[in-house]
Amino acid sequence: MSALVIGHITVKDADQWAQYRARVPATLAPFGAELVFRGQRGRLLAGTHAHADTVVIRFPDLASVDRWYDSPAYQALLPLRQAAADIDLVSFSE
């Protein structure tokens, strides 16, 4: 059963965010992940939503999500990510 990672993002530093985004794909490839969607919020239809950007990444399964997130390659990017943006990152199984 595949799994999705959904990130809701507010960019704090555009230059650092660009550096982070450029480095993430190399961390995804070993885990069979694919970028499904990256975009900016249109109109809020209901409720509240603080972030302007969203990303959706598909993985083969939840175990692959955990291996990716805990991998040394991705963990090395966390300081850059934290400096670049505020992110709510959640995994889901389909």
- pLDDT digit string, tens, across residues 47-84: 999 999 999 999 999 999 999 999 999 999 999 999 99
Residue with tokens 């992110």: 87
3-43+50-87 carries CATH number 3.30.70.100: yes
| Domain coordinates in residue numbering, the chain | 3-43+50-87
Q: Which of 6, 58, 8, 2 is nearest to 28 (CA)?
A: 58
Q: How far apart are CA 11 and CA 51, in angstroms?
A: 9
pLDDT of residue 94: 82
Cα–Cα distance for residue pair 34/25, rounded to 1 Å: 9
Does the reported pTM lie above 0.85? yes
* pLDDT tens by residue, 1-43: 899 999 999 999 999 999 999 999 999 999 999 999 999 999 9
Beta strands in 1-94 (DSSP E): 3-11, 34-40, 53-59, 85-93
